[in-house]
Amino acid sequence: MKYAVIFGANSYEHEISIVSAVVLKKVFRADMSFVYCDSLKHFYLIPEDKMNAKTFSSKAYLKEKELFLKQGGFFEKGLFGEKKLECEIYINLVHGKDGEDGKFASLFEFFNLAYIGPRIEASVLSYNKELTKLYAQKVGVKVLPYKLLKSYDKTSLAQDFDFPCIIKPARLGSSIGISVVKDKSELEYAKDVGFEFDGELLIEPFIKDIKEYNLAGCMINDDFIFSMIEEPQKKELLDFEQKYLSFSGNNEVKEAKLDEALKAKFYEAFKKIYNPLFKGALIRCDFFVIDDEVYINEINPNPGSLANYLFDDFSVALERLAKNVKNEKKVKTDFAFLHSINASKGKL
């Protein structure tokens, strides 16, 4: 099967996405092309031997072939017309904005390209942390309580809450703009930081030494493929760099030692969240455990290098998923309604 990996785009996680693509090249045993979307949202075909950080940071990518998106694929212009990029399936490896907010899902659906990644609705519900909570509660998965601060609503800004708390922009991943606020003196600065990134901030209780676990997986027909359950090593809060270097294979990954009953709760919660909303994607769910109960913290619908480090055989899992993805059904248009208007209601 011939794959193309899309990465970059106009996102705070643009560089993370580049790292993610470089890592995927190393860990996924498959025939892959690499389509870079720069921050101005032009596409470039990057040769495999140039898939390294310098190609991008030095802007050498600008010398590579530019690609254009049209119905059915990416095309390059040549002397003898247009040539289509050979590819059976695209992998959405754009993290954060553009990649996980519904835009790339929309592009793939609109231009009719088969792809691995969250669909539009799944993107929107996982990208906005408040919607994630509403969705999780709807499907019967526990979430931490929260309050919402809105930059455009003074009443919301005057709400009371306890310290310590954690403040998160509603619509960003990757720990960007997130602060742990120990007491009131730190609050204003943390709000200012958060509002730099989003007009809405979630406030959650900060629970010191809370147990955190990650589980990745995907669904093939009616079966789930699960990764190991990891207890990520952490400081108070994983910072940007630390969180993302983790998927480059430099950190040691340890399977969490859990009893079977708790494990079953993780699988159960993952299934409720995944099916059917995330079909077509390989996602990573980040859970908390409090008093033996499982809470969803965050859904990563395009995890960094697709969480390869959590799987026994990542290549097999991704390949099985690739063979199983489906795009939306096409609607047939027969103009029956317009014909009937012309016939009976007078011409439009």
| Cα 202 to Cα 192: distance, rounded to the nearest angstrom | 13
* 68-96 exposure pattern, b = at least 16 Cβ within 10 A, e = fewer: ebeeebbbbeeeeeeeebebebbbbbbbb
The residue from 54, 84, 254, 323 that contacts a second copy (CB under 8 A) is: 54
Interface positions, 247-306, toward a second copy (CB under 8 A): 248, 250, 275-276
Q: Write a three-state SS string for the chain.
A: CEEEEEEECCCCCHHHHHHHHHHHHHHCCCEEEEEEECCCCCEEECCHHHCCHHHHHCCHHHHCEEEEEECCEEEEEECCEEEECCCCEEEECCCCCCCCCCHHHHHHHHCCCCEECCCHHHHHHHHCHHHHHHHHHHCCCECCCCEEEECCCHHHHCCCCCCCEEEEECCCCCCCCCEEECCHHHHHHHHHHHHHHCCEEEEEECCCCCEEEEEEEEEECCEEEEEEEECCCCCCCCCHHHHHHHHHCCCCCCECCCCHHHHHHHHHHHHHHHCCCCCCCCEEEEEEEECCEEEEEEEECCCHHHHHHHCCCHHHHHHHHHCCCCCCCCCCCCCHHHHHHHHHCCCC
27 binds a second copy (CB under 8 A): no
167 binds a second copy (CB under 8 A): no
Residue 333 in the binding site for a second copy (CB under 8 A)? yes
**From the CB of 35, what's the least distance to a second copy, in Å?**
14
The interface mask with a second copy, positions 168-207, x = CB under 8 A, is -------------------------------x--------
Instruction: Give the footprint of a second copy on residues 215-254 (CB under 8 A).
Output: 240-241, 245, 248, 250
* 5, 22, 225, 310: which one binds a second copy (CB under 8 A): 22
Distance of closest approach, residue 45 Cβ to a second copy, in angstroms: 17
- Of the pair 37, 256, the CB lying nearest a second copy is at 37
User: Which of residues 130 and 186 has its CB atom nearest to a second copy in the complex?
Assistant: 130
* CB 196 to a second copy: min, Å: 10
In the bound complex, what is the minimum distance in angstroms from residue 213's beta carbon to a second copy?
A: 26
Do residues 117 and 101 make contact, with C-beta atoms less than 8 angstroms apart? no
* 157 binding a second copy? (CB under 8 A): no
Shortest Cβ 128–a second copy spacing (Å): 6
CA distances to 14, 39, 92 from 43, in Å: 14, 10, 14
Told to check if 331 binds a second copy by CB under 8 A, we report yes
Q: Which of 27, 30, 42, 85 binds a second copy (CB under 8 A)?
A: 42
Q: Which stretch binds a second copy (CB under 8 A): 15-23, 158-166, 205-213, 312-320?
A: 15-23
User: How far apart are CB 255 and a second copy at their closest, in Å?
Assistant: 25
Among 11, 92, 132, 302, binds a second copy (CB under 8 A): 11
Binding of a second copy by 103 (CB under 8 A): yes
Q: Which residues are near a second copy by CB under 8 A?
A: 10-12, 14-16, 18-19, 22, 38-42, 52-54, 56-57, 68-71, 97-98, 101-103, 105-107, 109-112, 120-121, 124-125, 128, 130-131, 134-135, 138, 152, 199, 240-241, 245, 248, 250, 275-276, 328, 330-333, 335-342, 345, 347-348
